[in-house]
Amino acid sequence: TRAKLLEALAAEGFGHEQLDEMQRIIDADKSDLFDVLAHVAWALPTVTCEVRAANARVHIHSEFNEKQQAFLDFVLAHYVSEGVEELDQKKLTPLLRLKYHDSLSDAVADLGKPEEIGRVFAGFQKYLYQGGC
Protein backbone atom coordinates (compact mmCIF):
# COMPACT_ATOMS: atom_id res chain seq x y z
CA THR A 1 0.00 0.00 0.00
CA ARG A 2 0.91 3.65 -0.31
CA ALA A 3 1.36 3.99 3.47
CA LYS A 4 3.70 1.00 3.66
CA LEU A 5 5.84 2.37 0.84
CA LEU A 6 6.12 5.73 2.58
CA GLU A 7 7.01 4.00 5.86
CA ALA A 8 9.69 1.94 4.12
CA LEU A 9 11.14 5.04 2.46
CA ALA A 10 11.18 6.86 5.81
CA ALA A 11 13.00 3.91 7.39
CA GLU A 12 15.67 4.27 4.69
CA GLY A 13 16.11 7.97 5.40
CA PHE A 14 13.64 9.34 2.87
CA GLY A 15 11.04 10.87 5.15
CA HIS A 16 8.42 13.48 4.31
CA GLU A 17 10.91 16.38 4.38
CA GLN A 18 13.37 14.64 2.05
CA LEU A 19 10.61 13.66 -0.37
CA ASP A 20 9.24 17.23 -0.34
CA GLU A 21 12.73 18.52 -1.12
CA MET A 22 13.06 16.03 -3.98
CA GLN A 23 9.74 17.29 -5.31
CA ARG A 24 11.01 20.87 -5.26
CA ILE A 25 14.35 19.96 -6.86
CA ILE A 26 12.70 18.42 -9.91
CA ASP A 27 10.12 21.24 -10.07
CA ALA A 28 7.19 18.91 -9.42
CA ASP A 29 5.49 20.69 -6.51
CA LYS A 30 2.08 20.18 -8.11
CA SER A 31 2.68 16.51 -8.89
CA ASP A 32 1.77 13.43 -6.95
CA LEU A 33 4.59 12.11 -4.81
CA PHE A 34 4.44 8.84 -6.73
CA ASP A 35 5.02 10.71 -9.99
CA VAL A 36 8.11 12.20 -8.37
CA LEU A 37 9.37 8.75 -7.36
CA ALA A 38 8.67 7.34 -10.84
CA HIS A 39 10.49 10.28 -12.39
CA VAL A 40 13.54 9.77 -10.19
CA ALA A 41 13.57 5.98 -10.60
CA TRP A 42 12.64 5.60 -14.27
CA ALA A 43 12.82 9.11 -15.78
CA LEU A 44 9.06 9.09 -16.40
CA PRO A 45 7.47 12.49 -16.96
CA THR A 46 5.65 13.95 -13.98
CA VAL A 47 1.91 14.59 -14.15
CA THR A 48 0.21 17.18 -11.98
CA CYS A 49 -2.37 16.13 -9.43
CA GLU A 50 -4.83 18.35 -11.26
CA VAL A 51 -4.39 16.35 -14.49
CA ARG A 52 -4.65 13.05 -12.62
CA ALA A 53 -7.85 14.24 -10.91
CA ALA A 54 -9.37 15.39 -14.21
CA ASN A 55 -8.64 12.02 -15.80
CA ALA A 56 -10.10 10.18 -12.80
CA ARG A 57 -13.28 12.29 -12.92
CA VAL A 58 -14.11 10.88 -16.36
CA HIS A 59 -14.27 7.37 -14.87
CA ILE A 60 -15.89 8.48 -11.63
CA HIS A 61 -18.78 10.10 -13.47
CA SER A 62 -19.54 6.85 -15.28
CA GLU A 63 -18.87 4.41 -12.42
CA PHE A 64 -20.47 6.00 -9.35
CA ASN A 65 -23.87 7.46 -8.48
CA GLU A 66 -24.45 11.20 -8.18
CA LYS A 67 -23.93 11.43 -4.41
CA GLN A 68 -20.79 9.29 -4.56
CA GLN A 69 -19.52 11.49 -7.39
CA ALA A 70 -20.04 14.61 -5.28
CA PHE A 71 -18.06 13.10 -2.42
CA LEU A 72 -15.29 11.87 -4.71
CA ASP A 73 -15.08 15.29 -6.38
CA PHE A 74 -14.63 16.71 -2.87
CA VAL A 75 -11.86 14.17 -2.17
CA LEU A 76 -10.17 14.97 -5.49
CA ALA A 77 -10.21 18.68 -4.70
CA HIS A 78 -8.36 17.90 -1.47
CA TYR A 79 -5.94 15.62 -3.33
CA VAL A 80 -5.14 18.47 -5.74
CA SER A 81 -4.73 21.08 -2.99
CA GLU A 82 -3.15 18.98 -0.23
CA GLY A 83 -1.46 16.03 -1.95
CA VAL A 84 -1.49 12.27 -2.02
CA GLU A 85 -1.81 12.00 1.77
CA GLU A 86 -5.51 12.85 1.37
CA LEU A 87 -6.02 9.44 -0.23
CA ASP A 88 -4.88 7.52 2.83
CA GLN A 89 -7.57 5.36 4.42
CA LYS A 90 -7.08 7.14 7.75
CA LYS A 91 -8.21 10.37 6.04
CA LEU A 92 -11.61 8.93 5.11
CA THR A 93 -13.41 9.81 8.36
CA PRO A 94 -11.96 13.34 8.56
CA LEU A 95 -12.96 13.94 4.93
CA LEU A 96 -16.47 12.66 5.60
CA ARG A 97 -16.75 14.91 8.66
CA LEU A 98 -15.55 17.89 6.66
CA LYS A 99 -17.87 17.25 3.71
CA TYR A 100 -20.90 16.41 5.86
CA HIS A 101 -20.31 19.02 8.59
CA ASP A 102 -19.53 16.42 11.28
CA SER A 103 -22.62 14.36 10.48
CA LEU A 104 -21.50 10.83 9.70
CA SER A 105 -25.15 9.77 9.67
CA ASP A 106 -25.71 12.14 6.72
CA ALA A 107 -22.70 10.60 4.99
CA VAL A 108 -24.13 7.10 5.49
CA ALA A 109 -27.54 8.26 4.24
CA ASP A 110 -25.94 9.65 1.07
CA LEU A 111 -23.17 7.15 0.41
CA GLY A 112 -24.30 3.87 1.93
CA LYS A 113 -23.04 1.65 4.71
CA PRO A 114 -19.52 2.27 6.05
CA GLU A 115 -18.19 -0.75 4.15
CA GLU A 116 -19.58 0.67 0.89
CA ILE A 117 -18.12 4.09 1.63
CA GLY A 118 -14.73 2.45 2.22
CA ARG A 119 -15.00 0.55 -1.08
CA VAL A 120 -15.91 3.72 -2.98
CA PHE A 121 -13.03 5.67 -1.38
CA ALA A 122 -10.46 2.97 -2.09
CA GLY A 123 -11.94 1.89 -5.41
CA PHE A 124 -11.87 5.20 -7.24
CA GLN A 125 -8.16 5.70 -6.59
CA LYS A 126 -7.13 3.29 -9.34
CA TYR A 127 -8.43 5.83 -11.85
CA LEU A 128 -5.83 8.34 -10.72
CA TYR A 129 -3.04 6.07 -11.91
CA GLN A 130 -4.48 4.48 -15.03
CA GLY A 131 -2.67 5.02 -18.30
CA GLY A 132 -3.24 8.02 -20.44
CA CYS A 133 -1.41 10.47 -18.21
Taking only the tens place, the pLDDT of each residue in 50-109 is 999 999 999 999 999 999 999 999 999 999 999 999 999 999 999 999 999 999 999 999
User: By the 8 A CB rule, do 120 and 64 touch?
Assistant: yes
Whether residue 133 is contained in a domain is answered as no
* In the predicted structure, residue 1 carries a pLDDT above the cut 90: no
Within this chain, do residues 99 and 122 fall inside the same structural domain, yes or no? Answer: yes
pTM confidence score: 0.90
Whether residue 9 is contained in a domain is answered as yes
Give alpha helix (H) positions in the chain: 2-11, 16-25, 33-42, 49-63, 66-82, 92-99, 104-111, 114-123
* In the predicted structure, residue 128 carries a pLDDT above the cut 70: yes
Q: How many domains does the chain have?
A: 2
* In the predicted structure, residue 131 carries a pLDDT above the cut 80: no
pLDDT of residue 102: 97
Look up the domain containing 21 and give its range. 2-42
Supply the DSSP symbol for 124: G
Within this chain, do residues 60 and 118 fall inside the same structural domain, yes or no? Answer: yes
Within this chain, do residues 31 and 70 fall inside the same structural domain, yes or no? Answer: no
Within this chain, do residues 32 and 71 fall inside the same structural domain, yes or no? Answer: no
